[in-house]
Amino acid sequence: MMRTVMTTLGPWGPVFFGVGFLAPLLSTLMVEAGITPPLGLSTIQAGLIIGFIVGLQAKLRGRWL
């Protein structure tokens, strides 16, 4: 059971990380740096979009950079 859950969800770890941690971190960094996201997005919305995309590309490519 546990192994099934981990083998299913484990590979999606970078996406969880992107949404769970990178998104609020990026939002905070944007606020601290005085950056206003485009298209009327709030900083947390922008953080979520960037965090999700960065996490997804890391999951698909197998590396962050």
Partner 1 sequence: MNVNVTPPQAYANMSDKELAREEMTIARKYLNRFSWFMVFWCFANLACWFALWPLTIMGILPLWAAFPIATLNVILCYLPSHDAQHSNYAKNGSLRWFNELIGYISTIPLVLPFKVARITHMEHHTHTNDPELDPDYGVKADNWWQAIITGIKRRQPGQPNSYGATLQRLGDDPVVKRAGLEGLAQTLSFWGIISALAWSGYALEAALIWWLPRYIGSIYISLMLSWAPHFPNPERGRYRNTRHFESPLGNILVMGMEHHIVHHLHPGIPLTWNAAAYREMKPVLDARGCRSERLHG
The site for partner 1 (CB under 8 A) is made up of 2, 6, 11, 13-14, 16-17, 20-21, 23-25, 27-29, 32, 58-59, 61-64
Separation CA 57–CA 29 (nearest Å): 21
- Of 36 and 64, nearer to partner 1 (C-beta) is 64
d(CA 47, CA 53): 10
CA gap 46, 20 in Å, rounded: 14
Nearer to partner 1, 1 or 39 (CB): 1
Integer Cα distance of 21 and 28 in angstroms: 11
CB of 14 to partner 1, least distance (A): 5
Q: Closest CB to partner 1 among 41 and 44?
A: 44
